[in-house]
Amino acid sequence: MFEVVFVKRTILLLFATLLLGACSSMISSATKDMANNLNTAILNQNDLETVRQGAPAYLIMIDSFIEGAPRDVDLLVAGSKLYGAYSSAFVNDPERAMRLSNKALQYSQRAFCVKRGKLCDMHELRFPEFEQQLQRLERGDVAELYTWGVAWAGWIQARTSDWLAIADIPKVKAIMRRTVELDPGWDHGGAQLYLGVLNSLLPPAMGGKPDQARDYFEQALELDQGRNLMMKTLYAQYYARLVFNRDLHDRLLNEVLQGNAEVQGLTLTNTLAQEEARKLLAESADYF
């Protein structure tokens, strides 16, 4: 996600970079602050069009930061989040979505590789070996692991007609399960939310696990305590529709519309959730 940064501050940082090249740690700290701010303040933006039009400039900005510090884990994580969020929420062109989601995945993998160099190529392993290697990770690895899983899920989302991409879903699910094992409350239940969606993609006859999906959605809601309205929107969209439960579907979506979108760090997400909830409710009678 993104953050509004004043042009004046950007100019001052560039000026400082020219004059104080020897003070690399100071510049690095200022750059990280700007990148982190990019990921925080746009989350508090309630005008979707402002974000849609303004975010591309910040994609280039984060690229420039990473170009100057290619092994900085914090910057790589921020870049992955920025590209992934923009691609998922605002890009409708399939080719462009694939390019941007690929950049998000690359940044997340680079962050993971810097943090865990010996496990850098584990994504190329077959699933049993991949799952075994996940057990070597510790709680201190959760930020990079979860970011990688989110970016990978977004990468797959942009390639739903590619069966080779779809085949990676078990690995993404394994990443999210390991995240839950290491830190159940990470991102206020974000990993559980992804597991709820991933287990709702297919009906039971084709290998889907709606009962597990429901449990994960409920766990996510309990951990989040009503802050993130997108959780209920996705619960309705993926689980309630999968099991043809209109009462649950409509109740969840009406709760989203009645909820408070203005939540620190979640305003953009909640505004998107309410926009999608209106669309889903409008289709409810036809769907069910």
Task: Say if residues 101 and 158 touch (Cβ distance below 8 Å).
Answer: yes
- What is the token pair recorded at 34? 């700007």
* Residue 32 pLDDT: 63
Cα–chain center distance at 181: 19
Which amino acid, residue 214?
A: R
> Of 184, 186, 212, whose CA–CA distance to 198 is shortest?
212
> Of 120, 55, 110, 109, whose CA–CA distance to 83 is shortest?
55
Which amino acid, residue 208?
A: G
Distance CA 218, CA 286 (A): 26
- Tens-digit pLDDT profile for the chain (288 aa)? 333 333 333 333 333 333 333 333 333 566 667 666 666 777 788 888 888 888 888 889 889 989 989 999 988 998 998 899 889 888 999 999 999 999 999 999 999 999 999 999 999 999 999 999 999 999 999 999 999 999 999 999 999 889 999 999 999 999 999 999 999 999 999 999 999 999 998 888 887 899 999 999 999 999 999 999 999 999 999 999 999 999 999 999 999 999 999 998 889 899 999 999 999 999 999 999
| Cα 196 to Cα 121, 201, 209, 220, distances in angstroms | 27, 9, 9, 9
- What is the token pair recorded at 112? 């993971």
* Residue 29 pLDDT: 64
User: Residue 221: CB partners within 8 Å, gap ≥ 6?
Assistant: 189, 231, 232, 235
- What is the token pair recorded at 270? 């909640």
* Residue 39 pLDDT: 62
Helix, strand or coil, per DSSP, at residue 168: coil
**Can you give the pTM of this predicted structure?**
0.85
Q: How many CA atoms lie within 13 A of 52 on its CB side?
A: 9
Distance CA 98, CA 87 (A): 8
Distance CA 249, CA 235 (A): 8
Task: Say if residues 54 and 96 touch (Cβ distance below 8 Å).
Answer: no
| Cα 39 to Cα 21, 36, 172, 266, distances in angstroms | 26, 5, 23, 11
